[in-house]
Amino acid sequence: MSSALVLSIDAMGGDDAPEIVVDGVAHFLKGRKRAVRFLLHGDELQIAPLLARHEGLAEVCDIRHSDSEVDMSAKPSEAVRRARGSSMWNAVRSVKDGEAQVAISAGNTGALMAISKVILRMKKGVHRPAIAASWPAPTGFSTVLDVGANVDCSPSQLVEFAVLGEAFHRAVHGEKAPTVGLLNVGQEELKGGQTIRDADALIREADLDLDYQGFIEGDDISAGTTNVVVTDGFTGNVALKTAEGTARLVGGWLREALTSSLIAKIATGLLSLGALNQLRAKMDPRNVNGGVFLGLNGVVVKSHGGTDALGFSTSLRIALEMADSRFLSEIERNLERLSALQADTVSEGETA
């Protein structure tokens, strides 16, 4: 019991909370042998009857009552001011207090990021946290960051993301020496603006012990050309949602193709038994739902606000992988090098 991992959940975050959250926990537990416990932060009156619907679920969950919750549409600055004591605040607080290894919320992204920064604080050497997404690739997953925390990024922030993303990929996806690429556009003459060129130069100059491969393009993400894809939060967010939209469109076409005629229906009937279900699962964005906040003294996972129980259970799986991983220790080595680099840059600046 003492070795059980504990996940701290904002049970009130998300469009259909707390119902899909509790159902998500139940779905996550199906067939799982490993001991995991859950802290469910939120309105006890709503949560308790939902737990009772699933046999045995109440036994692995502790409800932590909170009177308030963060508004899905609140601005982060406002949200933080009013957040103390809310289900989201308390969920992150449990990680800070050492009661849980990871916090998970499907609530307001900006508020969750702001609250996480206030409570957990940034790791030394990191100026801005990033959100990392695990992206399907032919052989496993690519790690893409930032997918939405920072709209504008300086070159040195992009370098920090490279360090964070490399450690994340090593810890979570088990690659010993992940390759890192910087997202850019096509031909030489159309190469990205000064920020990206500066970031490229900075990573190359720094002795970061990273397998940095230089510029990559949008189609390299799904091709898995590099394990880690570094970009600003605007581009990363657009890319992630574009890929989700494409997968959804193609999924619709596939359904159409498979039900377009009697012969197609018979054929599909044969296929459904096997590989087609796997394909459907691979194409389902709910199976990669969960952005991990990197750069904080503690791990926070953000689920899509509009997800369902299956999607929320994926976030819990990702949270568990993070809790199980050595991410927080993996990252220390690189951050030390980064700090040294930053100190160098400052002293160079002073002497120049």
Vertex 156 angle, CA 149 and 208, to 5°: 110
Minimum CB–partner distance for residue 106 and its own copies (Å): 13
Minimum CB–partner distance for residue 95 and its own copies (Å): 22
**Closer by beta carbon to its own copies, 124 or else 265:** 265
| Binding segment (CB under 8 A) for its own copies, from list 13-21, 45-53, 163-171, 261-269 | 261-269
Count other C-beta atoms under 10 Å from residue 342's C-beta.
Answer: 16
| Binding segment (CB under 8 A) for its own copies, from list 24-32, 198-206, 256-264, 329-337 | 256-264
Edge to edge, the sheet with strand 5-10 lists: 61-65, 36-42, 5-10, 102-105, 299-302, 291-294, 130-137, 140-145, 228-230, 179-183, 211-216
Minimum CB–partner distance for residue 242 and its own copies (Å): 4
**Closer by beta carbon to its own copies, 97 or else 217:** 217
Site for its own copies in 164-193 (CB under 8 A): 183, 185-193
Minimum CB–partner distance for residue 72 and its own copies (Å): 8
Backbone phi and psi for residue 64, each to the nearest 5 degrees, phi listed first: -110, 105
User: Which has the closest alpha carbon to 162: 204, 220, 122?
Assistant: 204
Minimum CB–partner distance for residue 233 and its own copies (Å): 7
Residues 289/317, Cβ–Cβ less than 8 Å: no
What is the sign, positive or negative, of the torsion defined by CA atoms of 87, 89, 95, 98?
A: negative
Minimum CB–partner distance for residue 127 and its own copies (Å): 17
Cα gap 350→9, rounded to integer Å:
46
Site for its own copies in 211-230 (CB under 8 A): 217-223
Residue 154 as a binder of its own copies (CB under 8 A): the answer is: no
Rule CB under 8 A: choose which of 5, 271, 310, 340 binds its own copies: 271
Residue 201 as a binder of its own copies (CB under 8 A): the answer is: no
Residue 258 as a binder of its own copies (CB under 8 A): the answer is: yes
The enclosing H or E element of 335 equals helix 327-351
**Closer by beta carbon to its own copies, 74 or else 122:** 74
What is the sign, positive or negative, of the torsion defined by CA atoms of 22, 24, 25, 26?
A: positive
Minimum CB–partner distance for residue 133 and its own copies (Å): 12
Residues 147/235, Cβ–Cβ less than 8 Å: no
Rule CB under 8 A: choose which of 49, 250, 336, 339 binds its own copies: 250
3-state secondary structure 210-246: CEEEEEECHHHHHHCCCCEEECCHHHHHHHHHHHHHH
Site for its own copies in 309-348 (CB under 8 A): none
DSSP letter for 123, please. Answer: P
Minimum CB–partner distance for residue 126 and its own copies (Å): 19
Q: Which token pair is 289? A: 């739902």
**Closer by beta carbon to its own copies, 244 or else 332:** 244
**Closer by beta carbon to its own copies, 76 or else 311:** 76
State how far the alpha carbon of 168 is from the alpha carbons of 109, 146, 180, 268, 277, in Å: 20, 12, 12, 39, 30
Minimum CB–partner distance for residue 333 and its own copies (Å): 31
Annotate 278-329 with DSSP letters as a single string.
HHHHHH-GGGG--EEEESBSSEEEE--TT--HHHHHHHHHHHHHHHHS-HHH
**Closer by beta carbon to its own copies, 124 or else 127:** 127
List alpha helices for 97-217, DSSP H. Answer: 109-120, 155-173, 194-205
Residue 153 as a binder of its own copies (CB under 8 A): the answer is: no
Site for its own copies in 65-104 (CB under 8 A): 73, 75-76
Please give the size of the binding site for its own copies, defined by CB under 8 A: 73
Residue 237 as a binder of its own copies (CB under 8 A): the answer is: yes
Residue 4 as a binder of its own copies (CB under 8 A): the answer is: no
In sequence order, the β-bridge partners of residue 10 are: 41, 105
- Per-residue contact track with its own copies, 110 to 149, x per CB under 8 A? xx------------------------xxx---------xx
